[in-house]
Amino acid sequence: MNPCPAYPPAHSVGPRPILRNRVQRRRHGTRRTSRGVVLVMALILLAVIGVSSALAMRATLFSDMVSKNLRAQNLALQSAELALRHCERQVALDPGSVVMLSALGLELEWQTEARWTASAMTVPVGRLGTDAGYRTAPQCLVRLISVDEFLAAFPPDPTTISAESRGYSSDYVVLHRITARGFSPDFERDASGVAIAGAEVWLQTLVRGVQ
């Protein structure tokens, strides 16, 4: 009989350590791959969070700027309305104390800055009635216009009822064109007169009177 083949004893270590090393190597490779994916995902999330935060801050700043501009515009409008009412009251109660422009033809008096400097009426600080602290007080410019001058500049519709048909001669009817401009508390101009900060609002009205 042939002798039985020799087998390694049970306590022999043979190739088993090699198999264990291979398994360990495969496990280590999988862990490294997983860690790399997690790192990439974390970087992407950080980038998304950073962009979202920057957009949120930009939207907040834009909203604050819009609110500030609306507030400045509203305060300038209130200032212009105050100047308009003040000048209307002065024209109605004491026209002799008001500097009035006249005989200007078709010239638009409010477009000339020199006329604002020489002939404009400035609203007294006490009339503002606010603690906002306006740097530039509101102003108004008054122009006296005869009926004939007004009709020459703006011919009426033939169906319009004239002053003569109501019993008033055009020599006794006059018109006061009042132009007012108001400013926000933070309004500011540079050395050349160009506005660099704040808001400015212009209003105009036409008041008819009999003299």
pLDDT exceeds 90 at position 170: no
Per cent of the chain over pLDDT 90 is 16
Whether residue 173 contacts residue 144, with contact meaning beta carbons closer than 8 Å, is answered with: no
Averaged over 119-142, what is the pLDDT?
80
What integer is the mean pLDDT of 93-98?
A: 85
Which of 103-107, 117-121, 167-171 is least confident?
Answer: 167-171
What residue ranges do the domains of the chain occupy?
61-158+168-210
Residue 111 has pLDDT above 80, yes or no: yes
3-state secondary structure of 148: helix
Judge whether 77 and 180 are in contact, CB under 8 Å. Answer: no
Per-residue confidence band for 19, with pLDDT thresholds at 50, 70 and 90: very low
Question: Does the pLDDT value for residue 118 go beyond 60?
Answer: yes
- What tokens does 19 get? 């198999």
Q: Residue 8's pLDDT band (boundaries 50, 70, 90)? A: low
Query: What pLDDT score was predicted for residue 15?
Result: 52
More confident residue, 146 or 20: 146
Is the pLDDT at 57 greater than 70? The verdict is: yes
First to last CA, the chain: 153
pLDDT digits (tens, 9 = 90+) for 142-168: 999 887 787 777 777 767 766 666 655
What secondary structure, in 3-state letters, does 74-85 show?
HHHHHHHHHHHH
CA distances from 118 to 16, 81, 115, 139, 165 (A): 108, 21, 5, 12, 39
Taking only Cα atoms into account, the Rg of the chain, rounded to an integer number of angstroms, comes to 42
Is it the case that residue 113 has pLDDT exceeding 80? yes
